[in-house]
Amino acid sequence: MTSETSTSSNNKIGEELTGAEIVVRCLAEEGVEHVFGYPGGAVLYIYDAIFNHSKFQHILVRHEQAAVHAADAYSRSSNKVGVCLVTSGPGVTNAVTGLATAYMDSIPMIVISGQVPSHAIGLDAFQECDTVGITRPCVKHNFLVKDVKDLAATMKKAFFIATTGRPGPVLIDIPKDITMHKCVFEYPQEVEMRSYKPVDKGHSGQIRKAVQLLLQAERPMIYTGGGVILANASEELNRLVDRLGYPCTNTLMGLGAYKASSDKFVGMPGMHGTYEANMAMQHSDVMIAIGARFDDRVIGNPKHFSATPRKIIHIDIDPSSISKRVKVDIPIVGNVKEVLVELLAQLDAADAKPNSVALSAWWKQINEWRKRDCLKFTDSTEVIKPQSVIQKVWEVTKGDAFITSDVGQHQMWAAQYYPFDKPRRWINSGGLGTMGVGLPYAMGVQKANPDATVACITGEASIQMCIQELATCKQYHLTPKIILLNNRFLGMVRQWQQLEYGSRYSESYMDSLPDFNKLVESYGHVGMKIENPADVDGALKEAFDMKDRLVFMNFITDQTENVWPMVKTGKGLTEMLLGSEDL
């Protein structure tokens, strides 16, 4: 990507700064308030500039992976750009998992990495690695700065690329000598890139076709994903669904985009989606996909999905996502919010209504599917059921918390049993499925939303991957509530081994867990262990009443509980297992 034109803001003419000072000034120009990071030799000049001139708060994590995850969640929960700073070599390689996580979920983020001095690049210097090469597959774009005079423009380009088009993480690799060199500081106010011109406005003719098709539908389905949330288009989506009266499903990444409390919401689709959502997805005759990508965990087997004839409208900012897995009839490339604004305007101008007779019959069928009550579970007075814990978390928080999760069974139960009415409240790793994100996600969320209630729902395997971040929480007075659904197994692995591998539980049993209470208390936080179902409600209320403390709740849950419904690998959406009786 090359710069074509740029204009400068009103900085002091002739002001000479070091590269490190330029980095700090650029972040200030972009309005950055928090940077998550971990120092090392290659970035010490930048850290010195932060010490001397910083207008933002730096949060010292205990592992670089957590820095990227925290910056990621900071962005997801606030629509701001997450920023993190890591050193060269192992610092940046530790950050790669976080980069891949953000890249898969299209999260706008800036990662600044140190590099060995320019003259040492390629000589196997201490803590050298090919950062640009290593990160290229898991970032939207990356830069290696070779001249301090290019640094300010590169920073501007990075923020522009990260936040426009389909968002994503951008990495800037800065050799140590570049942070020492000086030049006149001028920060571009605008930047235009010859090879990067994302389209925002959808084609009016295609939108007109979409409106006509939607109004003709007899079995319509509105299928939405994380793109609605990233585009801040939840208001428009809610207006569209309520205007048409059509059923709506939100993917795992789109939960909260349309309000879960509405009777038009049929639940989450896909591998662990509701019976009614999957059946409606499969049997619809017109589907509008908005900011979703028909991924494998949503539609199951593409051949099975395509076996039912239907017309598909697909709205997405990324043209490469359209017709990638499923053939689309009306593609609309553009920013979801802008497209929905025009679509709503054209609907109003058309002054036409949906086919009410057909729609009534369609809702009658959907309500028949709903009667299966696919999320029903048998509660117990003897052992804690994980689903019940999630339901009680929703009750105690009045459905208004920011919920972060790690990855596994607890993630799916949280998605199923904590209904979200607002966007950006559900923070999880959807695309990469990264264990260990829950706690650093909670840190990033709380930094972005300091007065909010934040809860991390996790498992005993996931939480140990970044548990050292309890120290970060202590240092910066971060007080999320940690809800550990402890079944002493790698839960989702165990479930798959039961269903697909003849109950051969190879290396999925956790038989050497720490005393979490003592561990948490050693970090200066409050620990609870809950084993009796009768104590769940009281423990949650007590924990959430402790506004100024991090409380770690270790719920000892039923080891045998599985996530239902489930679509097994290679199966179609209508081939769901609804419970153990289907095995």
The DSSP code for 335 is -
Q: Could you tell me which of 166, 203, 227, 213 has the C-alpha nearest to residue 333? A: 203
Whole-angstrom distance, CA of residue 196 vs CA of residue 163: 12
- Ramachandran region of residue 233, left (φ > 0), alpha (ψ -120 to 50) or beta? alpha
Q: Which pair of structure tokens corresponds to residue 151?
A: 């640094």
Whole-angstrom distance, CA of residue 378 vs CA of residue 487: 17
Query: What DSSP line would sit under 208-253, residue for residue?
Result: HHHHHHHHH-SSEEEEE-HHHHHTT-HHHHHHHHHHHT--EEE-GG
Q: Which pair of structure tokens corresponds to residue 457?
A: 């729902």
CB-CB contact of 339 with 207 (8 Å) = yes
CB-CB contact of 503 with 95 (8 Å) = no
What lies within 8 Å, CB to CB, of 42 at 6+ separation is 87, 88, 89, 91, 113, 114, 115, 116, 127, 175, 176
Whole-angstrom distance, CA of residue 575 vs CA of residue 59: 47
Cα Rg for the chain, rounded, in angstroms? 25
- What are residue 371's phi and psi, to 5 degrees? -65, -15
What lies within 8 Å, CB to CB, of 277 at 6+ separation is 249, 266, 267, 268, 269
- Ramachandran region of residue 569, left (φ > 0), alpha (ψ -120 to 50) or beta? beta
Q: Could you tell me which of 79, 30, 27, 80 has the C-alpha nearest to residue 58? A: 27
* Cα dihedral sign, 307-308-310-314: negative
Whole-angstrom distance, CA of residue 220 vs CA of residue 238: 16
Number of other residues whose CB lies within 10 A of the CB of residue 50: 23
Active site positions, annotated:
64, 126-127, 176, 492
What lies within 8 Å, CB to CB, of 140 at 6+ separation is 103, 161, 162, 166, 167, 168, 169, 170
- Asked, as a colleague might, if the bond just before 565 is cis with ω within 30 of 0, I would say yes
Burial class (CB in 10 A: 0-12, 13-18, 19+), 12: exposed
Pairing of strands 16-18, 182-184: antiparallel
Whole-angstrom distance, CA of residue 436 vs CA of residue 245: 39
